[in-house]
Amino acid sequence: MQNKLKLFSYFRSSTSQRVRIALNLKKLEYEYHAVNLLQGNEESEEYTKINPDQRVPSLILEDGTILIESMAIIEYLDEVHPEPRLLPQDPIQRAKVRAFCELINSGMHPMQNLRILELVESIAPGYDKVDFVNRSLTRSFKALEKFVQTTHGKYTFGDQVSIADCFLVPQVLSGIARFKINLDEYPTLKSIYNNLKDLPEFYKAQPDQQPDFK
């Protein structure tokens, strides 16, 4: 019997959401394994074997290979399941799409990761998490808004859904839902987000559509 793809995910984790979107876009079925970041079942030995750094998401392939790091996972999926393409073929366009993803992956999301929030809490108990993250995100959302002026169509890059959209939607959602980002301040991002969020592949990947949603 063929093993299925297994995704270890937390409903609210925006890095998990990126991979959920990509799997949906590639029409790849997977088993959902919920990892609870807050209750710390993430810390359990079982999950440590799968992901020593105890983060989500992890994708386990049919042959048992374990993949981590959402950007690397999605690029791998694009290599082995090329339809529909999530990265363009032209090197310059690829670089722009990747740059957009990295602006989020390394420029934005790290500041809202549970690890950093816990570290700051351990030294400055009771600090305003929302304020801390909002300051960083605001500068970055302004940069993203500027970036997409020359790239966007209906979506981040023209009228074709790409890996950039897999990164944008979860970042916008977490920014609005948890860190007081006002999307009205970023009209182009808002328009792109509104075009994407109701596409079935994106909708089904939303936190409130996951089995572990609370």
Partner 1 sequence: MYTLYGYAKSSCTQRVKTVLNYKNLKYNYVSLDFSQRKQMTDEYKKIHPRQVLPSLVTEEGVNLIESVAIIDYLEDKYPQNSLLPKDPQLQYQVRSICEFINSSIQPYQHPLIFNYINSQSEQQITWKDQWYEWNMRGIKYIDDQIKSTKGKYCFGDTLTLADVFVFCQIDSAFTRFQFDFSPFKNVMDVVKNAQQIPEIEQARGIYSPDFQQ
Contact residues: partner 1, CB under 8 A:
52-53, 65, 67-69, 71-73, 75-76, 79-80, 91-92, 94-96, 98-99, 101-103, 105-107, 109-111, 116, 119-120, 123-125, 127, 132, 135-136, 139-140, 142-144, 146-147
Backbone angles phi, psi at 103, to 5 degrees: -55, -35
Cβ-Cβ contacts under 8 Å for 145 (sequence gap 6 or more): 186, 187, 188, 189
CB of 79 to partner 1, least distance (A): 4
CB of 156 to partner 1, least distance (A): 14
Closest CB to partner 1 among residues 25, 73: 73
Q: Alpha carbon of 128 to those of 90, 135, 137, 171: distances in Å?
A: 44, 11, 14, 20
Closest CB to partner 1 among residues 100, 202: 100
Closest CB to partner 1 among residues 158, 209: 158
Placement of tokens 């032209």 in the chain = 90
Closest CB to partner 1 among residues 2, 65: 65
Closest CB to partner 1 among residues 9, 112: 112
Cβ-Cβ contacts under 8 Å for 26 (sequence gap 6 or more): 77, 81, 83, 84, 86
CB of 211 to partner 1, least distance (A): 26
Closest CB to partner 1 among residues 130, 197: 130
CB of 213 to partner 1, least distance (A): 25
Whether the Cβ atoms of residue 66 and residue 33 lie closer than 8 Å to each other: no
* Pair of tokens at residue 94: 């690829």
* Pair of tokens at residue 208: 């409130």
Whether the Cβ atoms of residue 137 and residue 175 lie closer than 8 Å to each other: yes
Question: What H or E segment, with its residue span, contains residue 171?
Answer: helix 163-178
Number of H helices, E strands in the chain: 9, 4
CB of 142 to partner 1, least distance (A): 8
